[in-house]
Chains A and B, each alone.
Chain A
Amino acid sequence: MAREAWIRKFTGRQIFVHWLFGISWLVLALTGALFLWRPDPHGTVTGLGVYLQGSVGQTLRTVHRVAAVGLMLAPLLYIVLEPRGFFRDLKELVTITRNDLRFFVTGPVFYTTGKGHVPPQGRYNGGHKLNYWIVILTWIGFVVSGTVMWLLRGAVSVQTFRLMLLIHSLSFFVGVPMALIHLYLTLLHPFTRQALSAVISGYVKLSYARMEHRQWVEEELARGTAELREAPPGAGAA
């Protein structure tokens, strides 16, 4: 059997930015979400309240703010460190193809039953694009509302503050289901978790890429820009 070939999807800098963003996001989501399971004073469920007494809640609030800096910086770092990648991504994102839309019909069937197939997709498939857009929009929502609540309390009207409170929460509840699906597909799903290597070593299996991103693979190969290697990531240079 031939050695498995791998194709490069992300650069080291992209991987760094991805994890800076992802880890900040997770820390923020966890420190923010703890309070959703607060004790109900009139119910029997005690929630997490007992663990958040005294200075614990305050400390978590500080952690939330430190992570917020990471979240704010990550996209800006992406622009600075890898402007070409950033603008190429943007271009991909604004080009929504027919196949991207068809992905949402055939994709769920394929990922659940293994039957059928996804139409040829670019570097980002329809699902990636949806995730990317939600991340961008909620990032704006989080950063704007969070900055106002953190630094501009008293400087803005109470009406504005209350609106920010609502926006922060809306961003959370739009962002979290998407993030859960994103995590599920790359960590747990028996098929798509093969994609995880892209944000660790930068490479994915060529066979997998052919199935999930056929259009992209064909273009890279045709243009001769595909970076291929013949060993699984972690095994060192072939």
Chain B
Amino acid sequence: MGRVGTWEAWQPDPRNPKQEVAMLVDVSECIGCKACEVACKHWNQNEARIEGFTGSYQSHSNLDAKTWTLIKFTEYEDPESGDIRWLFQKHNCMHCTEAGCVTACPTNALQYGDYGVVTLDQDACIGCAYCEQACPFDAIHVDRTAWDQKAQKAGKCTLCYDRISNGLQPACVKTCPTDCIKYGDRQALIEWGRKRVEELKARGFKNANLYGEHELGGLHELYVLTEPPEVYGLPVNPRVDWKVKAWKYAVQPIGKAVMGAALFGMAINWLAARRAFASAGARAGQGDSGHEGE
């Protein structure tokens, strides 16, 4: 569908942080050139991490603490026509409205920020990796080793918050040669995506679909996919794990209340016992005159 000229100059309203921005990746237009990966590394000053060639067109096996966006590559055989297709999915943090990582983070280093962006304050991060294990998309990571880092910290896509809050486009969007990554007002992108899906269907991609509109309360990374999401390894109907929710919303508040009750009980006991044993203590000190056995 080519360039969407008006979006290149688009910027969110700086007076309205509630406005939701999003990126939309039209995978049908992605050529797998990985310019976005490079632009992301460059802008965010993440060192290159070179992995050995494994026979795949994919550059890295997975995202890591210093690799925040990755073109996932799937060689897919259409079950009906037998055609082989190369599928590319730009994988990174989806900036969920209901995020597993934010729920799990014990230090609140992860938060829901302006414009629908999920922000990570690396200063507050302790590297516990609870977020890594709670994310339904495997999109945030803490490295196992900290050889080249002073401290282990989580890392993920920031949606270039530092750029977009200054009226710029995210680095990957700016660099994409086919303009398949679009950035703009979330609602406008959803409408564009719906139309694009219809268009692809008319052209024979009958499985075309828009991903991210409703998942986890709405993602801020949307996809126009030509195949069903599971073909790309995207979760169908993702959820924040009940265990993570129970940890945060049941165990912690109930536990704190029980702790408080115990402290309160002890304070009462102390006040009463101090008086009661002022005389009894003296008695006890005199020897064997305490309780009688039964």
Chain A residues within 8 Å of B, Cβ to Cβ: 1-2, 4, 35-36, 38-41, 49, 52-55, 57-58, 60-61, 111-115, 117-120, 149, 153-154, 158-159, 161-163, 165-166, 169-170, 172-173, 176-177, 180-181, 184, 188-191, 194, 206-208, 210-211, 214, 218
Partner of A166, one of B243, B259, B268: B243
Chain B residues within 8 Å of A, Cβ to Cβ: 104, 106-108, 111, 123-130, 132-134, 144, 150-152, 241, 243-244, 246-247, 251-252, 254-256, 258-259, 261-263, 266, 268-270, 272-274, 276-281, 284-288, 290-294
Q: In whole angstroms, what is the CA distance A36 to B27 when docked?
A: 42
Q: In whole angstroms, what is the CA distance A172 to B263 when docked?
A: 16
Q: In whole angstroms, what is the CA distance A169 to B172 when docked?
A: 39
| Tally of contacts, chain A with chain B, CB under 8 A | 157
Tell me which residues across on chain A come within 8 A of B272, comparing CB atoms: 112-113
Q: List 23 A-B contacts (CB under 8 A).
A: A35-B106, A36-B252, A41-B111, A53-B124, A58-B151, A61-B126, A111-B269, A111-B273, A153-B132, A158-B133, A159-B243, A165-B130, A166-B246, A173-B254, A173-B258, A177-B261, A188-B266, A189-B270, A189-B273, A190-B274, A190-B281, A191-B273, A214-B293
Tell me which residues across on chain B come within 8 A of A4, comparing CB atoms: 287
Extra contacts, 19 of them, besides A58-B126, A58-B127 (Cβ < 8 A), are A36-B256, A38-B108, A39-B108, A52-B124, A57-B124, A115-B276, A162-B134, A165-B104, A165-B243, A165-B247, A181-B266, A184-B266, A189-B270, A190-B281, A207-B288, A208-B284, A210-B288, A210-B290, A214-B291
Q: In whole angstroms, what is the CA distance A166 to B108 when docked?
A: 18
Question: Residue of A at shortest CB range from B127?
Answer: A58
